[in-house]
Amino acid sequence: MVVQSIRLFIVGDLFSLKDFVDNSIFPEDIIIKDKSNVSFDFERDILRIWHPKVYTKYHDDEYEKWYLKFLELYHSKLVQYGADDFQLEYYCFFLKQCNIEIFSSYLIKEFSKFNVSIPFTCVQYSQKRMKELANEYNFGYEE
């Protein structure tokens, strides 16, 4: 079993997160009502945002497209307000073996337009830990 999670990390030496937020509109499929899928660090101008579904099992094209949609909607404005470092932080939690597939050829081509980096963090979990994670985030545990 492999569980994946992605977060979009955005910073820049000249980035003004406040100006970006003040001048942007975020529909609820981007930032959900309780703002639980975003972290605004206004003091240090760090933006982290992630899909409302925190974890996904195996390859999930729709999950990945959400990040592409965000970049298509906001990349220009983020650059306008000084962002220049876009990272798709990719987390992978696996049992026994880690055989993963991320980003179809189409998606990787589209992401490349936004000059993103993809730092990976891969962690092998025990069955116990994976069950705990599955229970915490309500996805079905599999051997």
Partner 1 sequence: MAAGQIHNYKQYATFGITVAGNATQNAYAMMSQGGSNSSSKSDIRKLEDKEVEQKFGKDFHKPGKMKDIYKDDFRKQLRKNGDKNFDFYLDRNTNEILLKGNSSGKEIRTGDFFNK
Q: How far is the CB of 24 from partner 1 (least distance, A)?
A: 21
C-beta closer to partner 1: residue 5 or 23:
5
C-beta closer to partner 1: residue 23 or 132:
132
Q: Which residues contact 11 (CB under 8 A, 6 or more apart)?
A: 45, 46, 47, 83, 85
And the tokens for 39? 């972290």
C-beta closer to partner 1: residue 23 or 76:
76
Q: Please count the other Cβ atoms lying within 10 Å of the Cβ belonging to residue 51.
A: 22
Q: How far is the CB of 130 from partner 1 (least distance, A)?
A: 9
Q: How far is the CB of 127 from partner 1 (least distance, A)?
A: 9
Binding site for partner 1 (CB under 8 A): 5, 7, 9, 11, 39, 41, 44, 46, 48, 50, 54, 85, 87, 89, 91, 108, 111-112, 115-126, 128-129
Yes or no: say if 47 and 75 are a contact pair by the CB < 8 Å rule: no
Q: How far is the CB of 28 from partner 1 (least distance, A)?
A: 21
Closest Cα partner for 86 from 112, 121, 60, 55? 112
C-beta closer to partner 1: residue 23 or 122:
122
